[in-house]
Structures are given as C-alpha cells and as structure tokens.
Amino acid sequence: MARGTVEFDGVVVKIETHAALLVVIDDKEVWLPKSQIDDDSEVYKAGTSGKLVITEWIAIQKKLV
C-alpha cells in the first residue's frame, strides 16, 4: 500500500462511467472518481472485484475511514 492510500478488501464494482466507479464497500455503495484509485488496486472497471486502493483524501471525504 502506497503512502497516503487506504486499502479495502472484497470490493465489487457495480457501475462504471467515464470518470467514476460505483463500488460496494462493506455493504455501502459509494461513487469514487477514477483519478483517486491507485494503480495497485485490483478493481478498476465494472464487474471486477477484490482489493481497492484509494487515496486517503477520498476515503476521508466519503467517510470510509
């Protein structure tokens, strides 16, 4: 996990737009800008699931931490 990032396991991507993903984290649906998703993330497009790595900033903004 890179510095300034937060990691979540078992994340599912439900919907993808050009700029964002609708993900399910701990039974909570959240829209995340693709620009805030780290390259180490296993989820990056609709239909993918696994480890999500996002910036700490967006995790705080979305009340995930």
* 4-59 tens-digit pLDDT: 999 999 999 999 999 999 999 999 999 999 999 999 999 999 999 999 999 999 99
Domain tally, the chain:
1
Distance, in Å, from the CA atom of 48 to the CA atom of 15, rounded to the nearest integer, reads 10
Helix, strand, coil shares, percent, the chain, to 5 = 15, 50, 35
- CATH number for position 27: 2.30.30
Residue ranges making up the domain that contains 30: 5-61
Exposure of 11 in the CB half-sphere (CA atoms within 13 A): 26
Long-range own/partner contacts, residues 27-30 (CB < 8 A, 24 or more apart): 28/64, 30/62, 30/64
